[in-house]
A and B are shown apart, each in its own frame.
Chain A
């Protein structure tokens, strides 16, 4: 026994620890008896081995638990970041939708204003020589439109209800009649031309302003889309971190399980060896007694 204790590193460490004085304590004296110096020196090596293996297993489990807890914290943080990124993506998507809709409205306004401006300019130009003709042409256009709609039912095909379409037709017809009538009244007058010119300019200005608005909305929509993509990138990064933490957790759990199983097997082997040792001793004793 003493030879083994002197040669193996484990027993040497035990002997060193056993011969060391007990640590000084400033607390109240313990009710338990002080450990005897060198107590472990005379103990069975297999028992000492079992004790250390058991402690090693416990330390392994503790370390594994700490590692898994740290990874769980990391994963939790990554999941929070992922949720924040998703929230940001949703908000950016809403912004994009808003700017897109507003840009569409601005675009429609720009188109309508441009048409109004160009029609007004065309009519004004046509009436440059004979301003009355402008009013006359407008009247003719309105009357023709009213007639065409009453025959072809274009407004009804576009989803306008029967009553409203009737009112629109009647309005255009009356407008056409009034314009035709007014053409005579404004004969030789420059008023019509200047009015149409003002309408044309107003339409052009409105169209330009709406186009500016459309451009600003396009910028806003693009920025919102970019923010949405950046949030998606953040989400992907957080998800990758979370997945990585999950993989490391699986690995840590597997390592801890494997280590614990190995320690368990070693302890079982020690127990088995100890049992054989005891049985051998018993048999020897029986043989000696006869």
Chain B
């Protein structure tokens, strides 16, 4: 194998170092790209989960509200237990089950139950929202890491090109010198 000049050996070392830098930068770039994609997918999944939770919560509270309204309408068709003479003694009819009060009670309670269940779903939706925001932040960080790695890879490329240019200039100078010497001898 031909022995390289000190400048050539230095150039080889520089190019090897730059190659390693470029390779590792490309690896970081790939990893960051993959992580950014995964974080974006996770964010999308969290937003979809939030949408499902919101739909379920609206369904729960809406159904409860509708049922409450139906009970309120039903209650209107039953006479109230106290819809009589207060001054007289309670009759046997008064001691019957008070459908009006029961249905009215249900009508008032059901929206509250719906709100309670809806609140649980809202909690889930808020947590999904927070997770989506976290994944967005992670994705942004991955993209920044990707940009930095790309800059590093480009810097390594430029460094290799500079070494090549330097070697070429050195070679040209040597050649010119040898040509001048040969011309002089001739």
Taking Cβ atoms with an 8 Å cutoff, the residues of A that contact B are: 110, 117, 121, 124-125, 128-129, 197, 200-201, 204-205, 207-219, 221-223, 225-227, 229-230, 232-233, 236-237, 240, 243-244, 247, 250-251, 254, 258, 261, 265, 268-269, 272, 276, 279-280, 283, 286-287
Measured CB to CB, the nearest residue on chain B to A266 is B164
A208 to B76, Cβ gap below 8 A?
yes
Known contacts A121-B80, A215-B66, A233-B44; A225 and B186 CB within 8 A of each other: no
Q: Which residues on the B side are within 8 Å of A223 (C-beta)?
A: 55, 58
Segment touching A, from B1-9, B10-18, B89-97, B177-185: B177-185
B61 to A218, Cβ gap below 8 A?
yes
B107 to A276, Cβ gap below 8 A?
no
B interface: dominant SS:
helix
A214 to B150, Cβ gap below 8 A?
no
Known contacts A121-B80, A125-B83, A236-B44; A219 and B154 CB within 8 A of each other: no
Chain B 1-53 interface residues, beta-carbon cutoff 8 Å to A:
29, 33, 36-37, 40-41, 43-44, 47-48, 50-52
B120 contacts A by Cβ under 8 Å: no
Q: Which residues on the B side are within 8 Å of A244 (C-beta)?
A: 33, 36-37
Known contacts A121-B80, A201-B76, A208-B76; A219 and B40 CB within 8 A of each other: no
A247 to B33, Cβ gap below 8 A?
yes
A233→B186 CA distance, assembly (Å): 80
B179 to A128, Cβ gap below 8 A?
no
A-B pairs with lowest CB-CB distance, top 3: A222-B58, A215-B65, A211-B69
B66 to A212, Cβ gap below 8 A?
yes
**Chain A min CB distance to B28 (Å):** 13
Known contacts A129-B86, A236-B43; A212 and B65 CB within 8 A of each other: yes
Measured CB to CB, the nearest residue on chain B to A207 is B72
**Chain B min CB distance to A74 (Å):** 14
Q: Which residues on the A side are within 8 Å of B175 (C-beta)?
A: 272, 276
**Can you list 5 A-B contacts (CB < 8 A)?**
A207-B69, A208-B74, A215-B114, A225-B54, A286-B186
**Chain A min CB distance to B84 (Å):** 7
Known contacts A204-B76, A258-B157, A276-B179; A218 and B86 CB within 8 A of each other: no
A226 to B62, Cβ gap below 8 A?
no
B166 contacts A by Cβ under 8 Å: no
Chain B 71-126 interface residues, beta-carbon cutoff 8 Å to A:
71-77, 80, 82-87, 107, 111, 114
**Chain A min CB distance to B127 (Å):** 14
A227→B43 CA distance, assembly (Å): 16
B76 to A210, Cβ gap below 8 A?
no
B86 to A215, Cβ gap below 8 A?
no
**Chain A min CB distance to B38 (Å):** 10
Name which of A117, A204, A210, A225 has the most chain B CB atoms within 10 A of its CB.
Answer: A204
